[in-house]
Amino acid sequence: MSDILFSSRPLPFEQGPPRFDVGLAPIEMQHWLMPDDQAIWVGPKNELMDAESGAVFASIRGSIPGQIEAAELVSHACGLRIDPGEPPLFAASRLVSDDLVLMEMRDGVWTNTALCLCSPTFFSAHDAIGKSLFGLHRPVPGGDPGLGGRISRVFSLLRDELVLERHNWTVQWSNARYTPDGTPLRNAAGAAALAEAKEALHLRVERQTIRRLPQTGAVLFTIRIRLYKLADLLEERDLATAFQQAWREASPDVRAYKKWDSLERHVAALLQNYAGDS
């Protein structure tokens, strides 16, 4: 297996099933965006941005100062210049594999004021723009007001020099990164033979960071997607055991939220082959 495959070890399922909690931990500033271990996506991402700019980017009035500050920080981290002829956050997003989401305090609540979303995990830029943290987390079990409120407090208490990181994971059918709608993938999985699971099932990991912007007080939220062929991971016995346990222990609300029902039989077949599941 390649070095890139294990660049983010430990993999998040090694800590158990997905959980709906804050789960943020501090990281060193120099590890915020660089090195970009998913830089292979930057070229195709730019092609997507050129072809579907109206679908992947959205902003609301008054967001330009925050966009400019966010773009300057991304440009500095990468050592690259942005295109001055494009919206600043859109231009900055061209430089990294990460999606960029700008959150600002509006009417007393943290609100999404601009974003470029080229690797969405089953939602779109236009689903998110203008929504508060509570609205963004409403679909998550316990998200509104519980999780949304806890994240809001973290945003409000962020220090300028602090970068926080968390990871989330799911399983999807195919290695597609641009997935604003998961329905086609679930339909394909539902119609597929078990033999197709080895090539099609992928672990999708979201590496998320938040960082306060000192001048505007906005928060920049970044999302980096890593995709791993699940069958390749399961070839390692310790990973197969850890994944099997995490998959089995995922609660019903996690399974329902992530819509894993279409994948259950395929994952079970892989686990039987690689983890000795019966």
Average pLDDT of 105-124? Answer: 96
Distance CA(99)–CA(224), nearest Å, equals 6
Give the domain range for residue 65: 23-176+204-229
Q: Is pTM, for the whole model, over 0.75?
A: yes
Residue 256 lies in a domain: no
Alpha helical stretches, state H, 101-251: 125-128, 133-137, 148-157, 183-191, 197-200, 230-234, 237-249
Residue 257 lies in a domain: no
pLDDT at residue 241 greater than cutoff 60 = yes
| CA nearest neighbour of 171 among 250, 90, 235 | 250
How confident is residue 6, by pLDDT bands cut at 50, 70 and 90?
A: very low
How much is the mean pLDDT over the chain? 91
How confident is residue 243, by pLDDT bands cut at 50, 70 and 90?
A: very high
Residue 254 lies in a domain: no
Per-residue pLDDT tens digits for 189-226 = 999 999 999 999 999 999 999 999 999 999 999 999 99
pLDDT: is 196 or 143 the higher one? 196
Distance CA(120)–CA(223), nearest Å, equals 9
Distance CA(102)–CA(58), nearest Å, equals 10
* Total domains, the chain: 1
Residue 16 lies in a domain: no
Residue 162 lies in a domain: yes
pLDDT: is 191 or 9 the higher one? 191
Q: DSSP 3-state assignment of 224?
A: strand
Distance CA(195)–CA(179), nearest Å, equals 23
How confident is residue 143, by pLDDT bands cut at 50, 70 and 90?
A: very low
Residue 269 lies in a domain: no
| Residue whose pair of structure tokens reads 């099932």 in the numeric block | 201
pLDDT at residue 123 greater than cutoff 50 = yes
How many residues does this entry show for the chain? 278
| CA nearest neighbour of 272 among 169, 176, 195 | 195
**pLDDT value, residue 140:** 67
Residue 273 lies in a domain: no
Residue 263 lies in a domain: no
